[in-house]
Amino acid sequence: MKFQPAKGTRDLLPEDAIKMQKIMQTCRDVFEKYGFEPLITPAFESFDLLAAKGGYGEAVKDEIYYFKDKSDRELGLRFDLTIPLARVASSNSFSKPFKRYAVDKVWRYDQPQAKRWREFFQADIDVVGSKSLLSDVECLAAICEVLDKLGFKDYQIRINNRKVLEEFVKKIVDPDKVIEAFRTIDKLDKVGLEGVEAELKSKNIPESLISKLLAVREIEKIEDSEGRKELDGFFELVKEFGIYEKLRFDITLVRGLEYYTSMVYEVNLGANVSCGGGGRYDNLIKIIGSVDLPATGISLGLDRILEVMKENKMFDDVKSTKVFVISAEGAARNDIIKIARELRENDINVQMDVMDRNFSKQLEYASNSKIPYVMIVGKEELNKKEFKLKDMKTGEQKELKLKDVISSLKIKGD
């Protein structure tokens, strides 16, 4: 019997796992630079909690991994990192604002497809306790810095305000049809203009709604309202943070239903590849824990980012091992161990042979494993106390004292 990962899941072998860890560490470093602190929560939550988000109720069972434990308690794997945050915020006392980040796995019972899995990593930042648009913009600035540091050039973040969209739709659609109209508009990227118009027509909603929405491309065309004032204030702050060119107003952006209350965002990496989104959700924590706390946040889908970066060859050759210490003729095992220990004590990642292979086989292993450097240790090198350090990419080889080997590897970085 040959076992495979469960449908919608995958193994990340070392080459890809190293790349994923680089993405994760970039997220953590940037998030902490902006004052966000880590929060770790359980992989599964009570079903009642998971069903509270957006008012989905029992219907959410079809979208998540739902199960009962041995005590017949209803549980489910978390489908995002926001619901656990809302639970924590509603049941603990924090100084406000509470700025947290989480980089972890989530699970959704979607149909697997290109760049879409049932188990995947998210990097999530949220600010709880602040109504200020400064919180929203700071989250977006952090996300922009993450994407910049990963090497993305042409990404764009679509922006809308749910209040503006709701005010616009209510002028055209019957009040009892507004939510259905939102559901349909939200499918624009998936089914296109004709598909949206056909669905609106089938629901007895004026199909002209979408063309009228598409005609509102500039904020200046929106009538003066609470939502318009928020948008104006938002974009003034965005200019101060230097990320204005990365953002684009799009009145058709919905991002869910009752969940978001005003600002919403969606991150696009080009070619209609969405890798994340978020917005302001001022009512969720109150729904969950009867504690009235405003909040805003945004998350990135890291698996999708990984695949786009691989497709566009955005990674340098990355290995967790920096140098392989080759045992040459005349070197005792203890000599190799002693040198490897000294390198490791200087925070250099080292491998040495544990297979009793000859010199050529050790060199072949280091080459096949794409380890960037090899250090040759033999009787001659031990007598001279100078060791050959070879750059496996360029073929350049130098003879150096051990302390100079250490200095050289440290200077070259990871």
Domains and their CATH numbers in the chain: 1-148+275-318 (3.30.930.10), 156-268 (3.30.930.10), 323-412 (3.40.50.800)
CA atoms of 23 and 39, how far apart (whole Å): 18
Lowest mean pLDDT among 31-35, 170-174, 274-278, 282-286: 170-174
CB atoms within 10 A of CB 350: 21
Q: pLDDT digits over 192-205, tens only? A: 888 888 888 888 88
In the predicted model, what is the mean pLDDT of residues 232-258? Answer: 90
Res 244: pLDDT: 95
Averaged pLDDT, 326-333: 93
In whole angstroms, how large is the CA radius of gyration of the chain?
A: 27
Percent of the chain with pLDDT over 70: 97
Task: Please tell me the predicted confidence (pLDDT) of residue 207.
Answer: 82
Q: Is the pLDDT of residue 392 over 90?
A: yes
For all residues of the chain together, what is the average pLDDT? 92
What is the per-residue pLDDT for 25?
A: 97
Higher pLDDT, 95 or 1: 95
Instruction: Tell me: pLDDT of 414 over 60.
Output: no
Of 108, 92, 132, nearest to 53 by C-alpha is: 108
Residue recorded with tokens 């922009």:
144
Q: What are the strands of the beta sheet with 44-46, ordered from one edge?
A: 44-46, 74-77, 66-68
